[in-house]
Every structure is written in structure tokens, then in C-alpha cells.
A and B are shown apart, each in its own frame.
Chain A
């Protein structure tokens, strides 16, 4: 006798009932949609329109040509490199932290560490930059201490105002951000999977390779992309640290709208802003894919 057909599938029938209902505008969500529409979607569409207009208000793609060569192209490449490098390092370090917190910390310690991670993750900005000037500036105690121990970082060409310096600083908000976004995925790994692996004859390594890594992979990619977007577009830290010798897209856009540069380039600012959004959009679509993949398994 087969039971296949008699098993009641209450969830399925509920879904059917929902989809049969007619579309109704979700009025309770109207304030949210209006707010987001006016303060997020509307400004961004204005940028898009401006980027497609020439100085005499006719439509044109010419604002986009500078993006593909010269200093602006170079700035895009640099910003993407910073995004990738800091997201990768931050993701690896943060994942390790998240693993240790998830595996060994009790609920109380976990909530404390979560809060600290939240502060670190959001401290990307001016305070962080100052902290770094204090720690790694040529005059800082740490640098002097290392020098007295025979390791002169500055003599080896290190500078906090260089590409490497910026990368080092960014790790300080990237890794804690990774802890915040990746730990839920780790906590989603069920004890039963590990035990099922054991009772079926698998070693811990089999579990990691065949179960844990495949399950965590989408979440890891999603988190990495989130970190990338943050590193790519970070403005405040970069502004406080660089004195213009590392060209970064957010800084260039900021200069353009601040009027630090000749002002007939406003349309260029718009096209650069759209370029930056386009790169974020690529990361974003990967993120959405990863989210869907990982929430599918989480039930």
C-alpha cells in the first residue's frame, strides 16, 4: 500500500488559496512605498536622466565616454580593487570570527559580541580614520614601538595614505560587518546534519566538504558581495584618509558635486554616479541570487 497520495499537504492548499485571491493594492504599505519612492527611487532616476543630458538639455550618451578611459577609468578600477580585496579579507576574517562566536560563545557573550561588531561595522567613517591616524600614522606609538623593535614600516614604503593603507583600514569595518551578516547562516547549520553524517559513516571532513561548505556557499557569496559594495563605495573613511593621492570613485564624485572641480562637469558627476550604481547593481543581483538560494534551504 502506498501512502503517497494520502499525505495531507496543508501548506500547499493554503498557498493555492492565496494565489487565487484577486490582486489588491497593499494600502498599509503605502507610506513605506511613498517614502522610499520619493527619497530613494526619485533621486536616483533624476541622476539617470541627468547623466543622459548634454549641457544644452538634449539627450546624449557622451557623458559616459570618460568612464572608459583615463583617470576616471583608473579610479573605477582602483575602487573595484579596493572593494574586492577588502571584501575578501574581511569575509575570511569575519567568517572565522563568526564561526568561533557561534560555536563557543554562550547567548550572553554572543549578544555582547554582536553589539561590539555592530559598532565596529558602523564605525567605518571619520572616527575609524582618526583611530588609524593614531595607530599607524608615522608618529604613532605603535609604529614607534615596532621601529624600536627593528621593524620600520614606513621605511618599507608603508603609508596609511596608500592603497595598502586604505585596505588595512577598511578591514576594520568589513570583518565585523561579515560577522553580522554571516553568523545567521552559520547558526542555521543544524546539529542533526552533523550527527546524520557521523551515523552514516562520514568523517568530520566529509561533513565539511559535502554538507557545510555547499550549504554555506551561497550565504558566503552573498555576504562577500555586500562587503564588496560597502568597500567599493565607502566615502567618509577614504575622505578623511587620502589626500588625493589614491583616486577613488566616491571621492571623485564627491569632489564634483562639492564644486571642487570645474562646475560644467555636473553631468559627468551624474554619469559617474550611475556607473557606480551599475557596479553595485551587479553585486546586488548576485546578492539576491545568493539570498534566494540560501533561504530556499532554510526552513
Chain B
């Protein structure tokens, strides 16, 4: 496999805003992506992530702010002068052209010589392992193959920045992880600075150098997947990334909270609470310990997840409390068993009800 490393560009987005009527899709949004880095924008639909990407691409206008690539003002350029590669959700391949013609499109527009085009197309086909499909039409390809061609087409022009707009959302679950890993491999290989937009947190965590979680047109937190999961800075991030139990609790003071009968410290970034206030504590399933008991809480559901198993426990609260343990450990429990649950961390995040 040919290794080619292009020196990536730095993308600096500062303070862009965009309103659609009364809806503020983007609110002074800023983000810097280092050369060769892959950053994911993650958030629920309508959080502004796609708008941000489309403004960088020039497909949408911004009301305020700037976008720079390597110090050069991008917004001053027309969309077709920006040298940006873009991969769409689906159906973006030109249906009247073969795979090779699709990949060659950007190069033909740039009036490259025939030899240059053929050489580059061959390289790209090799990169996405679709040499055998070079003369096929898009409708003859599977969804996953189509997206690989779309990626090859976007990279063929050696873009300064690559933008991916939910490129996996139209694919089957199985294909999705394969293409996801393939995108990451190719991105590292080409060293292209990349902005990836998705609403799927697992996808974002798996593929990115850094993940930016967005809500209401603003960046809530941007960090490595690891930090984001273990040290969320807002309750929204904690709730959106990974699975979380929201356990009704009562604050003992402004620093301590009583959760399931245990007194725990309130972590920073929590809502500000006062003594006696009813709050919800955010506890990860792997932080909940389950042991056998003769009475009390009861296991209602048990889901096998491979190496891990998740059980749902009825502890007399409105919702089940989920705990995760190794599947080996889980053999000891069955649905209907009475159990005692406890929290294994000393610090929890709480939010006001």
C-alpha cells in the first residue's frame, strides 16, 4: 500500500454565527483543528454541527466570524475555489459517471493532464481498494462502496481540509464500523486535516483525535474521547457521551450528596446545589456494584454485550438502574434475583432537577 503523507493544513474557525429565522443555529462558534488532526463534532440533530461544516465548505453563509486555513481567509473565497473535500450522507456520486470518472471529476475541473488524472485516479482506487470497480456505475455499488468512492473523489483533489457530513448514517450497522475504520486509516495515511460531523457518540469516540460536543449552536466541550468520557465538564456532555444513570438524590450540603444511601462528594462542573435540594446524580453503569441479597432491589433485565453484561435493577425508583460487569461475573446473577447495589466512585456529578 502506497504511503503518502501530505502536510496537513490548520483550520481555525472563530466566532461564526448563523441564524435561520428565529432559530440560532450557530452562536459564536469557535474551533481550531491542528494539521492532520481529525475532529468530530457530535451533538443531537439541530445543534448546529452540520451548519458549521457547511459554512466551512461554503455551502452556507455565516452571519459573523471568520474561517481561516493556514492563515488565509476562507470566507472571502467562493465555495468552488476553496480546495475542500467533502463527503455527504449518501447519494452524492454523479449517477451518470463511472467510479473512475467520479474520482477524476475534480481533477478534470482543474484541467489536469490526462496522465496526471489517470495516475491519481489509480492511486485513489488503490487507497479505497476498489480497483475492480473502476468502470462500474454508482448504482451497481453497495452503499459502503459508494461512500468509499465518495471519499476517494474528495481526496483526489488533495484538499486542504476534508469535511465529512454524517457519511456513515445511511449504512447498515455492520458496514458502518468497517467503513468508519477505513476512513480513519485513510485519513491518517493521507494526513489530511479532517472535520467529521455525526450524531452517533460511539462513532465519534472511535474515530477522532478530539471530539467536540455541541448543543444549541455552541461547543459545550472539546477533548480527547477519553477525557470527554471520564471528565465531562457539563451534565449535558456526561449524559450525551456513553450510557448514564440519572439517580434521584438529595444534597447534604453544597459539596456532598446522598445517593442510594451513600454519601458522595459532588464533582466540579456539577450544577450549584444547596442543602436539602432534590437533585439527580449521574452515575456510569460500570461504577455501580451489584451483590447478592436476600431481599430489596431486584434484577429485571440482563443483556449480554460480549465481554460485558448489563443488568437493569429495580431499586424502587421510577427508572431502572443499569450496572455493567464482566460477563463472567454476571453468571452469578439471574433476572428475578434480589441484589444490593452500591456506587464504587467517591465523586459524582449532579444536576438540578
User: Which residues of A line the B interface, CB within 8 A?
Assistant: 2-4, 6-11, 190, 192-193, 195-203, 206, 210-211, 214-215, 296-299
Contacts and interface: CB of A to CB of B under 8 A. Distances in A.
A197 B81 CA distance: 11
B129 A3 contact: yes
B182 interface: yes
B109 A200 contact: yes
Interface in B100-155: 105-106, 109-110, 129-130, 132, 137, 139, 142, 144-145, 150, 153-154
A8 B92 contact: no
Given A196-B86, A201-B80, A201-B81, A6 B95 contact: no
B79 A198 contact: yes
Given A4-B129, A200-B106, A201-B109, A195 B59 contact: yes
A202 to B, nearest CB: 5
A297 B157 contact: no
A211 B94 contact: yes
A202 B105 contact: yes
B328 to A, nearest CB: 30
A199 B80 contact: yes
Given A10-B172, A190-B91, A198-B58, A299 B139 contact: yes
A55 to B, nearest CB: 55
26 contacts: A3-B178, A3-B179, A4-B129, A7-B145, A8-B174, A193-B92, A195-B59, A195-B88, A196-B153, A197-B80, A198-B59, A198-B80, A199-B59, A199-B79, A199-B80, A199-B82, A200-B106, A200-B109, A200-B153, A201-B109, A201-B110, A202-B105, A202-B106, A210-B94, A211-B96, A214-B96
Given A4-B130, A215-B96, A201 B83 contact: yes
Contacts of B82: 199
* Residue with the greatest number of chain A CB neighbours at <10 A, chosen from B81, B96, B150, B172: B96
B154 to A, nearest CB: 8
A196 B97 CA distance: 13
Contacts of B137: 296-297
B145 to A, nearest CB: 7
A297 B96 contact: yes
A219 to B, nearest CB: 12
Nearest to A199: B86
A202 B109 contact: yes
A202 B79 CA distance: 9
A143 B289 CA distance: 93
Given A199-B86, A203-B80, A215-B95, 10 more contacts: A2-B129, A11-B142, A190-B92, A195-B88, A198-B80, A199-B84, A200-B106, A201-B157, A211-B94, A215-B94
Given A4-B130, A201-B106, A192 B88 contact: yes
Contacts of B57: 195, 199
B332 to A, nearest CB: 37
B48 interface: no
Contacts of A10: 172
A215 B139 CA distance: 13
B175 interface: yes
B85 interface: yes
Contacts of B129: 2-4
A259 B336 CA distance: 91
Q: Return the 4 tightest CB-CB contacts between A and B, nearest first.
A: A200-B106, A297-B95, A192-B92, A199-B86
